[in-house]
Amino acid sequence: MSVVVLVAAAVVENVTLDPAAYLLTLLGVIFSSAVFLGVGQALVGLIKSPDAVNAVGRLSYLPLFALGLFAHSTIFGTTFETIARWSPGGAVVTLLAGAMQPAAWSADTWWGLLASVFYAVVFAGIGIRWFQWSTR
């Protein structure tokens, strides 16, 4: 799907990236996917009811994505920006922004990568630790 989005961006919006940027973006998407899969796995591990997982998942992903949208904006103040920047969505935004512009790769991008790996490992670990199969 990421390849389709990158091709559509190139065709429709004339977005051009160098080959390294395409490769880094695809790697960033893999790390980003691991973050959100880990969050979902943690929810399933901690919440036993399928209906409750559905509801909590829907309610928790909206703030995660909203924080990612405002990760690099001071519109709500610097405290909110700091929280948003270090949220799972904010770490993903920082990582993907750096991946699409390898020349602008900075310490912030490395911290975004490190935070993404941290979130993926911690949330997946929580999900693995507390998940139990149950029969109905």
Neighbours of 49 (CB within 10 A): 10
DSSP conformation class of 102 = G
Contacts of 135 (CB under 8 A, 6+ apart): none
Q: Which residues contact 88 (CB under 8 A, 6 or more apart)?
A: 35, 36, 39, 64, 67, 68, 115, 116, 119
- The residue behind tokens 């020349």 is 103
Taking a C-beta distance cutoff of 8 angstroms, is the pair 25, 17 a contact? yes
CB 123 within 8 A of CB 36: no
Per-chain mean pLDDT for the chain: 90
pLDDT tens, residue by residue, 41-80: 999 999 988 899 999 989 988 888 888 888 788 888 888 8
Cβ-Cβ contacts under 8 Å for 128 (sequence gap 6 or more)? 41, 45
Tell me the residue type at 4.
V
Cβ proximity of 67 and 82 under 8 Å: no
What is the tens place of the pLDDT at every residue in 82-99? 888 899 999 999 999 999
- Residue 136 confidence class, pLDDT cut points 50, 70, 90: low
Whole-prediction pTM value?
A: 0.85
Q: Would you give the distance in Å from CA 95 to the centre of its chain?
A: 9
Half-sphere exposure (Cβ direction) of 70: Cα atoms closer than 13 Å: 16
